[in-house]
Chains A and B, each alone.
Chain A
Amino acid sequence: MSLNLTRRDLARLITRIENGERGAQEALNALYPHTGRARVIGITGAPGSGKSTLVSEMARAWRLRSGLDQPQVAIVAVDPSSPFSGGAILGDRIRMRDLYGDSGIFIRSMASRGALGGIAAATADVVSALDAYGFEIVLIETVGAGQLEVDVARIAQTVIVVEAPGAGDEVQAVKAGILEIADVIAVNKADREGVAQTISALQSALDIAPANGHHGARAATELASDDGTGWRPPIVKVSALNREGIVELLAAVDTHRDYLVATGEGERRYQQRIESDIKARLRELLLQTAMRRITQIDYQAVLAAVGQRSLHPAEAALKLLDSLHL
């Protein structure tokens, strides 16, 4: 462990980060130079595809590796917050009970708290804290995701998309936006019927994706995965429940890591990641700053004008910006 923190200290720090409490940012500033060592792996997929069980088995398999290659593993499991009460039921630990008793594993459940991208707003900072603490592997399990919850690709070096037989027919496989962020595809529940069809649907979805169009679309969203340098997401058959295919899945993740290093793609993605992180934070700060400096009079005036449809919201925003005399 690189820092003089107990596990309890770490747990409490994570709470402060989640809540944006006093002192959390100072702690993150101090931790930041110690980050950048962990391998951060995202696991996403539809509800019921078996993500939690698979994450649990991956952690177990990593811990069973021998010698120097036996990493400390942290798991961040995100579940949705209720839009009505703001509360949440975080149930991912139910499927991770086999990990109990291994002090090299740390599991933290997080509520999405209104964020819509499949992870919480504070997930990136929580991952940083775990990285600084000394976890060599950080697994992020997203909320049950469909086609839009792709934010994990902004944090993870490797994204595993979990599919299950019967969960998505061919049309789903083709349209699912989530496949576009896949670095590795795990077809879970491979003991069930329909695996062959699922795999062939996924294969043709990968075939159809035009290399160039794909590249352009991804560059635009800063979620580049297949950048034309030749990575096609491998499809790995697993059965998390029967502990089959897990070693092969870890091998695929390792191969992707080697690819990122060998091609420079990892470095390129890292640069993109920090840039989009800074921009996102700047956007937030600019909005906060602007809202503090805009006078109530100006604000209420444009609000009324837009309400009466005499002013378009875009013009209203421009007017407010002008009032700041930047």
Chain B
Amino acid sequence: MTTLPEPKPGASEISARPLRILIAKPGLDGHDRGAKVIARALRDAGMEVIYTGLRQTPEMIAEAALQEDVDAVGLSILSGAHNVLLPRIAEALRERGLSDVPIFAGGIIPDEDVPALVQAGIAGVFGPGSPIADIIAFIRARTPARD
């Protein structure tokens, strides 16, 4: 009788490790259509999307990213408060030791604001009309297999 292999949970069902992506809406605007469109598109690309809903504070987003152990954080913001909120979210993630988790943002973000946001740790900024394929490519490029 040969020795049995190490048991693996659900080994027969799991072929590849799905990426886990947090999609959150910081700030006070109540329009989450864009966030939902992105969430659907990422799901259809085979990712597991944790959607946290409206009116999230930077701390709520960072805490959710930690508990859910996500590979990337996507933020949708239409309120105009991006210059304040997005750097605060990057900071809240850093405080929790999550500085290696890439952050991307979409919504109404003027081009002139982008360099400062990149400087603050927002690795990808996707304005209105950005092809979803670009966002998926961004995530795949920034999330090499950990481990």
Contacts and interface: CB of A to CB of B under 8 A. Distances in A.
B13 A121 contact: yes
Interface in B9-62: 9-14, 17-18, 20, 39-40, 42-53, 55-57, 59-60
Interface of B: 2, 4-14, 17-18, 20, 39-40, 42-53, 55-57, 59-60, 63-64, 66-69, 96-98, 147
A176 interface: no
A93 B53 CA distance: 8
A97 B60 contact: yes
A4 to B, nearest CB: 16
A2 interface: no
A109 B68 CA distance: 7
B66 A93 contact: no
B8 A25 contact: yes
Interface stretch (A55-63, A144-152, A258-266, A280-288): A280-288
A90 B40 CA distance: 11
Contacts of A89: 39-40, 43, 49, 51
Contacts of A91: 51, 53
Nearest to A109: B50
Given A85-B46, A86-B18, A289 B69 contact: no
Contacts of A97: 52-53, 55-56, 60
A142 to B, nearest CB: 16
B15 to A, nearest CB: 8
A163 B40 CA distance: 28
A14 B69 contact: yes
Contacts of B40: 89
| Interface residues of chain B: helix, strand, loop or mixed (majority) | loop
Nearest to B57: A100
Closest 6 CB pairs of A and B: A121-B10, A94-B53, A87-B43, A20-B8, A11-B69, A122-B9
B59 to A, nearest CB: 8
Contacts of A100: 57, 59-60, 63
A108 to B, nearest CB: 6
Contact of B50 (A14, A24, A82, A93): A93
B94 to A, nearest CB: 13
20 contacts: A8-B97, A12-B69, A15-B20, A19-B14, A21-B17, A25-B6, A25-B9, A81-B48, A87-B47, A88-B18, A93-B50, A97-B52, A97-B53, A97-B60, A100-B63, A120-B10, A121-B14, A122-B9, A285-B7, A289-B5
A289 B97 CA distance: 41
A309 interface: no
B9 A125 contact: yes
A122 B7 contact: no
Contacts of B4: 285, 289
B55 to A, nearest CB: 8
A189 interface: no
B42 A87 contact: yes
A106 interface: yes
Given A87-B48, A100-B60, A113 B10 contact: yes
Nearest to B69: A11
B44 A85 contact: yes
A219 interface: no
A24 B8 contact: yes
Contacts of A94: 51-53
A81 B20 CA distance: 12
Nearest to B15: A86
Interface string A10-37: 0110111111111011000000000000
Contacts of A281: 7
Contacts of A288: 5, 11-12
A86 B46 contact: yes
